[in-house]
Amino acid sequence: MTGEIIGTYATAISLLIGSAFIIVGVIGLLKFNDPMTRLHAPTKVGTIGIGMLLLAAMIHAFTLGQTSVHEVLIMAFLFVTAPISAHFIAKVNIHTRTCQTPPPPPRDDTWSTLSTPDQEPQAEAATKS
């Protein structure tokens, strides 16, 4: 087996895997009803699918003896921007109240800080005396 044949098989496998991921993302996009669950399918699965298609293009270019850097830049841009755009779309859905809002934190004054609630210092004072 020559390197060209192995490269062709690797390209074909990458294309099949990428296409399968993209089909799963499209089916999830069409099947889910809620905007937040709809958002999850194409952002996670689609990113991997497009990454595999770009990998197939890189393998094919390498098999032909060419260098291909454009696909690496596209992958880097995609992997950086897809989660950020998904986060912003989710925040818009939460703020416009088109989806179920997340539950509030149990104690609003201490949930993201290092300060302790008022009840805990009294318990510590009772154990020290």
Count helices and strands (H / E) in the chain. Answer: 4, 0
Distance (Å, rounded) from C-alpha 72 to C-alpha 44? 19
- What DSSP letter does each residue of 83-122 carry, written as one string? HHHHHHHHHHHHHTT-SPPPPPPSSTTTTTSSPPPTHHHH
Domain range summary for the chain, segments of one domain joined by +: 3-102
Give residue 114's pLDDT: 52
The position carrying tokens 């996670």 is: 44
Residue stretches of the chain with pLDDT short of 50: none
Give residue 95's pLDDT: 78
For residue range 61-97, list pLDDT tens digits in order: 999 888 888 888 998 998 888 888 888 888 887 777 7
Give this prediction's pTM: 0.67
Give residue 126's pLDDT: 55
Distance (Å, rounded) from C-alpha 27 to C-alpha 47? 15
Report which residue type is found at 50. I
